[in-house]
Amino acid sequence: MFSLSGWEVAGLISKLGIYPGIAAALGGPLVLLFYHDGSRRLTRDVLVYIALAGLLAFHSALAYFLIQVGTISGSGVAGMFDWTMINLLLDTPLGDSSLLRLTSFVAMFLLALFYLYRIRELQSPPEQLFYSRLFALLFLCALIAAGSFRSTGHLAVFGNTAQLAIALHLLAFGTWVGALLPLAWLCNSPDIAQLKTNMQRFGAHARFILIVLLAAGIYMLTELLTTPSDLIATPYGFALSIKLALVGLLLLLAARHRWFLVPALGTQEAGLKLQRSIYVELVVALVLLCVTAYFSTMLAPPAGSAMMAL
């Protein structure tokens, strides 16, 4: 189950690097739009975060495409730059999805740079419209990148309803995970009252994110599995079980924040405690992304599932 070739490992690593771009494009502007503490530093840090994530995702998407070229050419590392094979694959769904990803991540990177320039030029704090436009533009970038997954791999054989569920699941999870790092930075704010208000507001909004995430995830489970026993009887189900356990852990951490750590905010020490817990949540989310990249790329759903029947 876990025996991988060098090409497969490289492909998984490059695919994993795509996810932070989608997450940062969703969660970063969300924090600026709804939970900003008014500091110029937070705006700058979040925009740098978005730019770096976009740059990482661009190179990861490019590397993923070239790795597939090298794998198919069968002539080693030099085969990654076989122009004949590159041109052939550009006319396939892999080429289409790669071009969509590269375009969206370039746009994401350039938008972050442009808004960083605008922030330097502004003499007063930006108005809400400034962040609203940034959120709308970056959401479009994330939507294009998320849509690129529908034409490649196992997902390409899903029906339209299932593909919509996948897109919603990815967008909801990306919004949640992408907001974690900026929210952790917010915990350094000296205004504890404002921090508590912002975290309570995020908790209220997160309910809707979780509803979409869980609803789409449950629907996908019905498509991927024939019976509940597939979760332990098949390699795909086993990997999926690990993912579900990690999702459960994330939900427990989120519940701890909402019901215990956020209500207890009253001192800088309480803010730092919340920050450490958010970092733990971020680490769990990264492990979850690694598991997702593995089983969505290397494993096939159980025979007889709705997905395999299509």
Instruction: Give per-residue pLDDT as tens, 26-71.
Output: 999 999 999 998 888 999 999 999 999 999 999 999 999 999 999 9
Query: What band does 157 get if pLDDT is binned at 50, 70 and 90?
Result: low
Higher pLDDT, 175 or 37: 175
Q: Is residue 103 part of a domain?
A: yes
Does residue 289 fall inside a structural domain?
Answer: yes
Report the distance separating Cα 234 and Cα 230, nearest Å.
Answer: 5
In a domain, 1, yes or no: no
At residue 213, the 3 state secondary structure works out as helix
- Angle, CA of 280, 134 and 279, to the nearest 5°: 5
Q: Which domain holds residue 16?
A: 6-309
Q: Which residue has the tokens 């809707």?
A: 208
The SS3 of residue 1 is coil
The answer, yes or no, to whether residue 23 has pLDDT greater than 90, is yes
**57, 105 contact by CB (below 8 A):** yes
Q: What's the confidence (pLDDT) of residue 310?
A: 33
CATH number of domain containing 130: 1.20.1630
Confidence of residue 307 (pLDDT cuts 50, 70, 90): very low
Q: Round the average pLDDT of the chain to a whole number and report it.
A: 89
CA neighbours within 13 Å on the CB side: how many for 29?
A: 25
Q: Do residues 271 and 265 make contact, with C-beta atoms less than 8 angstroms apart?
A: yes
Q: What mean pLDDT is predicted for residues 276-282?
A: 97
The pair of three-digit structure tokens given for residue 150, joined into one six-digit string: 């529908």
Residue 120 covered by a domain: yes
Domain membership flag for residue 47? yes
Predicted local distance difference test score (pLDDT) of residue 183:
97
For residue 12, the SS3 value is helix
**Greater pLDDT, 230 or 30:** 30
pLDDT at 215: 93
Q: Please tell me the total count of domains within the chain.
A: 1
Mean pLDDT of 267-271: 94
CA distances from 36 to 128, 150, 186 (A): 10, 34, 8
Phi, psi of 226 (to 5 degrees): -90, -40
Angle between the N-to-C axes of helices 40-73 and 6-16, in degrees from 0 to 180, rounded to the nearest 10? 150
pLDDT band at 158 (very low <50, low <70, confident <90, very high): low
State residue 308's pLDDT score: 40
pLDDT tens digit sequence for 64-98: 999 999 999 888 888 999 999 999 999 998 999 99
230 assigned to some structural domain: yes
**Residue 108 in domain:** yes
User: How do residues 3-22 score in pLDDT, each as one tens digit?
Assistant: 677 888 899 999 999 999 99
Q: Are 185 and 31 in contact (CB under 8 A)?
A: no
Count CB neighbours of 101 within 10 A. 26
Query: pTM surpassing 0.85?
Result: yes
